[in-house]
C-alpha cells in the first residue's frame, strides 16, 4: 500500500527558505500515471494547492506562489521536495504531500495524502 | 478569496440529507471534473468523490456527487455524527498554464 511521509524542519525564520521532503513508500515515484503534489492549510483557513511535479521533472505551480516555489524530484530516493523562499508568518501551515493520478491526460484528484507536517515561521 | 465558492457551513440532523454546493467558472468546473474531500481535524484530507460522481473504494454510497455547468454538488444522505467535518471541492483550472483550485471549505455540523 503506497504511503507518503513529509519531513523537514518545523520552525523556519522569516525571510528564510522552507524546505520539505516527501518520501514515497510502497510504490514508485517513477510512475507514468501520477503527478506528485504539495498542498497546505494555514491555521483557520482552507486548503491551498502549492504545486505538482511529474517524475520526469515537469512542474505546475500555484500562480500566486510561483515566484517563490520550487518543487523537485529525486527518483533514486523515491522522494520529491518543496522549497519556498522568503517565508513570512503567512506561510505558517500544515504542509501535505499527495499523489495526483493522471486520467485522460489530466490531473485527476488527490487520492493518497501524507499525514502532514506543521511548519511555523517564527523569529 | 477562493476560486471555487462553497457555503461556509451547513447543518443537519442524523438521518437527514444535506447538500454542499461548489460554484466555479468555465476554466475549472466548466471544463474539468470536480472532486470532493472530507477533512477531519488532525487528520489528512480524504478523497470522497472524484470525476464529479465516482466514489473511491471504501467510501459509503451515502456520499454522492454531481456537476452541472460550472457548479458541482456533494450530497450526504443518512447523515451520521461521524460525518461532522470540513468538506472541500477542488477542480483543475485550465487558465494560467493549468493549476488546481480549491473551494474555501464547508463545515458540516450534525445537530
* B23 lies within 8 A of chain A by CB: no
Cell of B87: 468538506
Which of B32, B47, B97 faces A60 most closely, judged by CB atoms? Answer: B97
Q: CB-based contacts of A113: which residues, under 8 Å, 6+ apart?
A: A4, A39, A96, A97, A98, A99, B44, B45, B46
Q: Would you tell me which residues 53-72 of chain B have a C-beta closer than 8 angstroms to some C-beta of chain A?
A: 56
The label of the residue with cell 477562493 reads B2
- pLDDT, tens only, A16-52: 999 999 999 999 999 999 999 999 999 999 999 999 9
The 8-class DSSP code of residue B83 comes to G
Average pLDDT on B50-61 reads 96
The percent of residues in chain B predicted with pLDDT above 70, rounded, is 100
Q: Does A116 touch chain B (CB under 8 A)?
A: yes
| Closest CA–CA distance from residue B29 to any residue of chain A (Å) | 13
Query: Residue A103 pLDDT > 90, yes or no?
Result: no
Q: State the average pLDDT over residues B16-21.
A: 98
Q: Nearest CA to CA, how far is A76 from chain B (Å)?
A: 26
Cα B31–B37–B43 angle (5° rounding)? 150
Question: pLDDT-derived band of residue B1, with 50, 70 and 90 as boundaries?
Answer: confident
Q: Which of A47, A62, A107 sits opposite B45 (nearest CB)?
A: A47
d(CA B107, CA B34): 18
Amino acid at each position: 500500500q503506497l504511503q507518503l511521509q513529509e519531513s523537514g524542519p518545523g520552525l523556519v525564520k522569516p525571510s528564510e527558505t522552507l524546505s520539505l521532503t516527501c518520501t514515497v513508500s510502497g510504490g514508485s515515484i517513477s510512475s507514468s500515471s501520477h503527478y506528485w503534489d504539495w498542498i497546505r492549510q494555514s491555521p483557520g483557513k482552507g486548503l491551498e494547492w502549492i504545486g505538482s511535479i511529474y517524475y520526469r521533472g515537469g512542474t505546475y505551480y500555484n500562480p500566486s506562489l510561483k515566484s517563490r516555489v520550487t518543487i523537485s524530484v529525486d527518483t533514486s530516493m523515491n522522494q520529491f521536495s518543496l522549497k519556498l523562499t522568503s517565508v513570512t508568518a503567512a506561510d505558517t501551515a500544515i504542509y501535505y504531500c499527495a499523489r495526483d493520478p493522471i486520467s485522460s491526460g489530466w490531473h485527476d484528484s488527490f487520492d493518497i495524502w501524507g499525514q502532514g507536517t506543521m511548519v511555523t515561521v517564527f523569529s | 478569496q477562493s476560486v471555487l465558492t462553497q457555503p461556509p457551513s451547513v447543518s443537519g440532523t442524523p438521518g437527514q440529507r444535506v447538500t454542499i454546493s461548489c460554484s466555479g467558472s468555465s476554466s475549472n468546473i466548466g471544463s474539468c471534473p470536480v472532486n470532493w474531500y472530507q477533512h477531519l481535524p488532525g487528520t489528512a484530507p480524504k478523497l470522497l468523490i472524484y470525476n464529479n460522481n465516482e466514489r473511491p473504494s471504501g467510501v459509503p454510497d451515502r456520499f454522492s456527487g454531481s456537476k452541472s455547468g460550472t457548479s458541482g454538488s456533494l450530497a450526504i444522505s443518512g447523515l451520521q455524527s461521524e460525518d461532522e467535518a470540513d468538506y472541500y471541492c477542488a477542480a483543475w483550472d485550465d487558465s494560467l498554464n493549468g493549476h488546481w483550485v480549491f473551494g474555501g471549505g464547508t463545515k458540516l455540523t450534525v445537530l
